[in-house]
């Protein structure tokens, strides 16, 4: 059993108001974690504020060295960290290790990019010097989710620390020991107060979002993102939001239905559907719908997945499936809550879905494939864009002109053609609508974590 503590200004503290995390694989308790109260939030923010000037004054190359040493420590601890992650949120250990490797890679990238993140000179009067200089924003609150807890945290923490900010980190209450172990690996490489960590749930997150920080960076659900944006509007903090999605997959006529079904299965069922860019709704052309559905049912039967994060989430996922069935969808696979401990839920396929069903309209975040049959590619494109979200979309088509039209017309931050996952390193998009705002990834995250100062320097009268 992990016993999580807060890290406040370089000192570990037991905290109070503890709650228990249950292993979603077998229902056993795995972690107990405290919840930081407002005075602990204030203490962590004050420590971050106090540590910030010296960290900002540290040479970027020295900050990068610290990040590299921290990345090495995380890499060496991959096995233990993956076991904790698997026990808290159900990701199979090998997949957890792969996502930790991604996090380590991100820390190293920001260690390399931090010292290269400069401003520019301006073409002003030759007798003057005109510069645009990026400066750290100050104190960054990093509030993160459970579904990819190490990789997401490494991104926000790496970019914030590389650019001279100090950080108050609040990992998800559904994976607190994962966040606590990650902090324990990173913090020894940083001066006290540069990285603090607070355990706790929504109330702790809300107290942090309302506190005197300069940036609130949140990766999580749309509802939380909106609450954070409202809180930050009162304090003036900059807000960075990477939030929920309901990503469409459009399957064109003329594609190989078996290949399309394999792509759909990967997009829907990977990490038991608990991926921000999971495929959440499928618009399939009537010409291939029947063969596609037959192949997708086969894929569902063969796909091995871990459990959902917890029973509370399973109730929400299953509720959407029941709602769809009540409204006339047909269950082709899964859709039944299994007996026994844990939070397992089978790969599920629904046909005959409509846009009004919650499983199509909202984010499901589970292994559920709601399939809508459309009469044309254009109808699929239109309906795909009609969404309160705008994170990502995938199109499967053999037509270059339709592929081209799709990426131009889809109102999402990311568009993928003929592959549900993939993309070059460093890709960062602006999510649209309820999916968030700002760059949450890539080199551009360094821009978000800094504020630009314009400097105009003239010689004093009489010359230099
Ligand atoms: P969540 O928003 O419920 O929780 C995320 C974090 O926010 C947690 O640390 C939580 O304690 C905190 N929080 C909750 N209420 C808060 C409040 N009122 N004020 C401040 N903080 C608060 O999200 P989750 O369930 O942990 O994660 C799943 C969601 O994250 C999904 O919607 C998924 O799409 C999204 N996600 C998005 C991306 C992306 O890059 N767009 C990546 C991963 C996950």
Q: Which domains does the chain have, with CATH numbers?
A: 2-243 (3.40.605.10), 247-417 (3.40.309.10)
Query: What residue owns the CA closest to ligand 1's atom 39?
Result: 242
The span from the CA of 259 to the CA of 66, in Å, is 45
Query: What residue owns the CA closest to ligand 1's atom 28?
Result: 220
Give yes or no for residue 276 CB within 6 A of ligand 1: yes
Give yes or no for residue 33 CB within 6 A of ligand 1: no
The pLDDT, as a whole number, for residue 453 is 98
Q: Which of 220, 239, 243 to mutate to test the pocket of ligand 1 (most atoms within 8 A of CB)?
A: 220
Catalytic option among 88, 210, 276, 448: 276
3-state DSSP assignment of residue 390: strand
**Residue tagged 């995938």 (tokens):** 394
Neighbours of 423 (CB within 10 A): 12
Neighbours of 184 (CB within 10 A): 15
Give yes or no for residue 206 CB within 6 A of ligand 1: yes
Tokens of 40: 């602990």
* Secondary structure letter of residue 434 according to DSSP: T
Give the atom of ligand 1 at the shortest distance from the alpha carbon of 146.
Answer: 26
The pLDDT, as a whole number, for residue 459 is 87
Decide: residue 444, CB within 10 A, 0-12 exposed, 13-18 middle, 19+ buried. middle
Give how far the C-alpha of residue 44 lies from the chain's centroid of Cα atoms, to the nearest Å. 23
The pLDDT, as a whole number, for residue 127 is 87
Give yes or no for residue 224 CB within 6 A of ligand 1: yes
Distance 112 CA to ligand 1 centre (A): 28
Give the atom of ligand 1 at the shortest distance from the alpha carbon of 309.
Answer: 25
Tens-digit pLDDT string for the chain (464 aa): 999 999 999 999 999 999 999 999 999 999 999 999 999 999 999 999 999 999 999 999 999 999 999 999 999 999 999 999 999 999 999 999 999 999 999 999 999 999 999 999 999 998 899 999 999 999 999 999 999 999 999 999 999 999 999 999 999 999 999 999 999 999 999 999 999 999 999 999 999 999 999 999 999 999 999 999 999 999 999 999 999 999 999 999 999 999 999 999 999 999 999 999 999 999 999 999 999 999 999 999 999 999 999 999 999 999 999 999 999 999 999 999 999 999 999 999 999 999 999 999 999 999 999 999 999 999 999 999 999 999 999 999 999 999 999 999 999 999 999 999 988 988 999 999 999 999 999 999 999 999 999 999 998 888 76
Let me know: does 25 contact 18? Beta carbons within 8 Å: no
Angle (CA) 334 338 343, round 5°: 105
Tokens of 421: 């996952």
pTM for the model stands at: 0.97
Give yes or no for residue 335 CB within 6 A of ligand 1: no
Give the length of the chain: 464
Give yes or no for residue 310 CB within 6 A of ligand 1: no
The pLDDT, as a whole number, for residue 464 is 64
The pLDDT, as a whole number, for residue 463 is 72
Residues 6+ apart with CB under 8 A from 360: 246, 280, 281, 324, 353, 354, 370, 372
Q: Which of 103, 145, 197, 442 to mutate to test the pocket of ligand 1 (most atoms within 8 A of CB)?
A: 145
Query: What residue owns the CA closest to ligand 1's atom 11?
Result: 201
Tokens of 156: 């926000």
Q: Is 154 a catalytic residue?
A: no
The pLDDT, as a whole number, for residue 89 is 97
**Helices (runs of H) and strands (runs of E) counted in the chain:** 15, 23
Give the atom of ligand 1 at the shortest distance from the alpha carbon of 391.
Answer: 41
Q: What is Dmax (Cα atoms) for the chain?
A: 86
Give yes or no for residue 244 CB within 6 A of ligand 1: yes
Distance 145 CA to ligand 1 centre (A): 5
Query: What residue owns the CA closest to ligand 1's atom 13?
Result: 202
Give yes or no for residue 129 CB within 6 A of ligand 1: no
Q: Is 276 a catalytic residue?
A: yes
Let me know: does 193 contact 166? Beta carbons within 8 Å: yes
Let me know: does 21 contact 176? Beta carbons within 8 Å: yes
Distance 174 CA to ligand 1 centre (A): 10
Let me know: does 325 contact 304? Beta carbons within 8 Å: no
Distance 385 CA to ligand 1 centre (A): 23
Give yes or no for residue 133 CB within 6 A of ligand 1: no
Catalytic option among 40, 242, 280, 363: 242
Give yes or no for residue 227 CB within 6 A of ligand 1: yes
* Secondary structure letter of residue 272 according to DSSP: G
């Amino acid at each position: 059993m992990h016993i999580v503590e807060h890290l406040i200004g370089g000192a570990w503290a037991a905290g109070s108001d503890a709650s228990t995390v249950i292993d979603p694989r077998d229902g056993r308790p795995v972690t107990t974690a405290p919840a930081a109260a407002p005075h602990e939030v204030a203490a962590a923010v004050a420590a971050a504020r106090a540590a910030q000037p010296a960290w900002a004054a540290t040479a970027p190359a020295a900050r990068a060295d610290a990040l590299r040493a921290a990345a090495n420590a995380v890499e060496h601890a991959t096995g233990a960290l993956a076991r904790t992650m698997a026990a808290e949120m159900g990701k199979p250990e090998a997949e957890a290790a792969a996502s930790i490797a991604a996090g380590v890679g991100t820390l190293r990238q920001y260690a390399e990019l931090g010292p290269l993140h400069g401003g520019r000179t301006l073409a002003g009067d030759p007798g003057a010097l005109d510069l645009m200089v990026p400066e750290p924003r100050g104190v960054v609150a990093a509030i993160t989710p459970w579904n990819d807890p190490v990789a997401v945290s490494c991104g926000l923490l790496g970019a914030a620390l590389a650019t001279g900010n100090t950080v108050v980190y609040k990992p998800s209450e559904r994976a607190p020991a994962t966040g606590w172990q990650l902090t324990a690996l990173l913090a020894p490489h940083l001066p006290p107060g540069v990285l603090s960590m607070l355990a706790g749930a929504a109330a702790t997150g809300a107290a942090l979002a309302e506190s005197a920080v300069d940036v609130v960076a949140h990766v999580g659900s749309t509802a939380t993102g909106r609450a954070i944006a409202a809180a930050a509007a009162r304090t003036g903090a900059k807000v960075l939001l990477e939030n929920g999605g309901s990503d469409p997959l459009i399957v064109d006529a003329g594609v190989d239905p078996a290949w399309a079904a394999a792509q759909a299965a990967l997009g829907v069922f990977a990490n038991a559907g608990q991926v921000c860019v999971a495929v959440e709704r499928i618009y399939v052309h009537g010409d291939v719908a029947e063969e596609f559905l037959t192949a997708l049912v086969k894929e569902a039967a063969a796909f091995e997945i871990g459990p959902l994060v917890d029973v509370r989430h399973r109730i929400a996922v299953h509720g959407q499936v029941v709602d769809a069935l009540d409204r006339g969808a047909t269950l082709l696979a899964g859709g039944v809550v299994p007996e026994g401990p844990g939070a397992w839920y089978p790969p599920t396929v629904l046909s005959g879905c409509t846009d009004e069903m919650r499983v199509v309209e909202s984010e499901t975040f589970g292994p559920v494939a709601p399939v809508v049959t459309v009469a044309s590619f254009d109808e699929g494109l239109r309906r795909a864009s009609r969404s309160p979200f705008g994170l990502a979309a995938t199109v499967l088509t053999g037509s270059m002109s339709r592929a081209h039209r799709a990426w131009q017309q889809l109102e999402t931050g990311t568009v993928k053609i003929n592959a549900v996952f993939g993309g070059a390193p460093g890709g960062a998009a602006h999510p649209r609508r309820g999916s968030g705002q700002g760059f949450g990834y890539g080199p551009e995250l360094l821009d978000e974590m800094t504020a630009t100062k314009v400097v105009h320097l003239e010689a004093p009268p009489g010359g230099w």
